[in-house]
Amino acid sequence: MGTAAKAGAVVAGLAVAGAAVYGGVALIGGDGGTSAQRLAPPSANPPALPGRKDRTEARPFTLVATGDIIPYPSIIQRAADDAGPRGGHDFRKILAGVKPVVEAADVAICHHEIPYGRPGGPYTGYPTFKAPHQLADALQVTGYDSCSTASNHTLDAGYDGLTRTLEHLDRVGIKHVGSARSAAEAKAPALLEAGGAKIAQLSYTYGTNGIPLPQDKPWAVNLLDRDRVIADARAARAAGADVVVLSIHWGTEWQTAPDAQQRELAQALTAARTGGLPDIDLIIGTHNHVPQPYEKINGTWVVFGMGDQVASFTPADKKRGNQSSIPRFTLNPSAEHPGRWEVVKAEFFTQYSDMGPPFRVVCTSCASTAPRSDYTAVDRQVTEAVLSRGAGGQGLQRATR
C-alpha cells in the first residue's frame, strides 16, 4: 500500500463494546428527524493491545482522511461501465485522481458510508443504499488502511449488509471500526502503526435513520455519546495506543457552519485529559455532505466535516455535495512527553466529484491537476469553508502536492 508504515498495520478494525447512548437514550436519527430507542448499557474494557515498539524508532508520520463514500446509482453505473466486458464493477478509475495523495500517506482513513448488497444486486441509492462489494477492492488499490463504518446508513441493508461490508473489507486487508459482527469484535481494539506509534481509530454515528439496532445485537453499530467516547479513548490509550483518532458522524446536513451539538461535543472531547494530556489527538467529522471548517480547539485539531468524497448530486442547490476537503496531518514524537505524538503540521487538499462524463474524483488543489475554471471555483469554495473559523491563523495550510 505504498509505505513501510502501511505494511506494519495490524489487528482488525476497532469497534467499541456495547452501543453508546445519549443521556441513557440512544439517538436513532433519520435525515428528517430523530427518535429514541433504549439500549443495554455498555460493558467491558477492551483487552490489552500488543506491546509498544522501542521508542528509539519514533519518527514523524502523516495521516490523511477523506469524506463520505456514497455511491449513488449513477456512480454504480459508471463503475459497471469502467469494468467493461468482463462484467462486475470497477471503482478504481473513479478514485484514481486522489490515489497519489492517499497512497503517499503513512496512514490513510476513509469513511465507508454505505453497506454492500448481495452479489449481483440489486444495488440501490437513497434512502437505503446498497453498493457493489468491488468498492472494497478499489479502496485497497487506492491506498486506504482503515475505514470508519458507523453512519446513519450502516444498517440500510440490515445486519446482513453490515456483515457483508466488513467481510469484504477484511478480504482486501482494510481495517474497519464503527460496526461489528459480534460482541467480541466490538470489544476488540485495533491499531495502525506508523512512525513507531500505535494509532487507535474510534468511530461513532449520531443514529441509523430510524432503523433499530438488532435486538440481540446492541453492539452492531457504535452510537454517539460523549462520555462513552471519552471512556473508550482512555481505555485504548491505557491499553497501549499512542495516538487516538476519532471518526465521528454528526452535524446538520447541507450546513457549512458546525451546529450546536458539534461545537459542544468538540469542546468537551478536546478538553478531556488524563494526567494533563489529551485523551483524543484528532477529530475527523463526516455526514454533512458539504465541506465544513477545521478548527484547533483546546490544542486539538477538529475537522468538523470533510464533505462527501464520492457523491453525484445534480440539483443546482445540491452541487456543493460534490465538494470536499482532505486533511493531512503530520505527527511528530513529543519531546516533552515520551510515548506521545503531536501534530506539527496541518494541511488540507480540496477535492471534487466531477460528474463528467465520465464520473471521476479529482484533487482540485493538486499541482498535477490540469487547471480548469470549474476546478478553480471548487478549490476556492472549499478553501473558504475550511478556513471559515480561523484555521488559517492557527497554522492550517492549503496543500498542492
Three-state DSSP class for residue 385: helix
Give burial (CB, 10 Å; 0-12/13-18/19+) of 299: exposed
CA 279, 62, 295, 22 torsion: positive or negative? negative
* Segment 336-365 mean pLDDT: 96
pLDDT of residue 270: 98
Three-state DSSP class for residue 246: strand
User: What confidence tens digit (pLDDT) does each residue in 122-178 have?
Assistant: 999 999 999 999 999 999 999 999 999 999 999 999 999 999 999 999 999 999 999
Q: What is the mean pLDDT of the chain?
A: 87
Q: Which of 8-17, 226-235, 380-389 has the highest mean pLDDT?
A: 380-389
Q: How far apart are CA 303 and CA 191, in angstroms?
A: 21
pLDDT of residue 236: 93
Q: How far apart are CA 28 and CA 401, in angstroms?
A: 40
* Segment 303-327 mean pLDDT: 94
User: What confidence tens digit (pLDDT) does each residue in 61-119 have?
Assistant: 999 999 999 999 999 999 999 999 999 999 999 999 999 999 999 999 999 999 999 99
Q: In what order do the strands lie in the sheet with 294-297?
A: 192-194, 197-205, 243-249, 282-286, 300-303, 294-297
Q: How far apart are CA 294 and CA 284, in angstroms?
A: 9
Q: Which of 307, 11, 64, 17 is nearest to 174 (CA)?
A: 11
Say which residues have a Cβ less than 8 Å from residue 327's Cβ, sequence separation at least 6: 64, 65, 284, 294, 301, 303, 306, 346, 347, 348
Confidence of residue 184 (pLDDT cuts 50, 70, 90): confident
Three-state DSSP class for residue 379: helix
pLDDT of residue 183: 84
User: What confidence tens digit (pLDDT) does each residue in 268-296 have?
Assistant: 999 999 999 999 999 999 999 999 999 99
Please identify which residue in the block is written with the cell numbers 451546529. 259
pLDDT of residue 190: 66
pLDDT of residue 186: 78
Exposure string of 107-128, with b = 16+ CB inside 10 Å and e = fewer, is: bbbbbbbbbbbeeeeebbbeeb
Confidence of residue 191 (pLDDT cuts 50, 70, 90): confident
Confidence of residue 37 (pLDDT cuts 50, 70, 90): very low
Confidence of residue 10 (pLDDT cuts 50, 70, 90): very low
Confidence of residue 13 (pLDDT cuts 50, 70, 90): very low
Q: Which of 234-238, 265-269, 296-300 has the lowest mean pLDDT?
A: 234-238
pLDDT of residue 219: 96
| CATH class of the domain comprising 4-40+50-398 | alpha beta
How many residues does the structure list for the chain?
401
Helix orientation angle between 73-83 and 134-142, rounded to the nearest 10 degrees = 80
First CA to last CA across the chain, in angstroms? 18
Residue 322 grid cell: 460534490
Q: In terms of pTM, does the model score above 0.85?
A: yes
Confidence of residue 44 (pLDDT cuts 50, 70, 90): very low
Enumerate the domain spans of the chain: 4-40+50-398
Exposure string of 1-16, with b = 16+ CB inside 10 Å and e = fewer, is: bbbebbebbebbbbbb
Confidence of residue 379 (pLDDT cuts 50, 70, 90): very high
Q: How far apart are CA 399 and CA 366, in angstroms?
A: 7
What percentage of the chain carries pLDDT values higher than 70?
A: 85
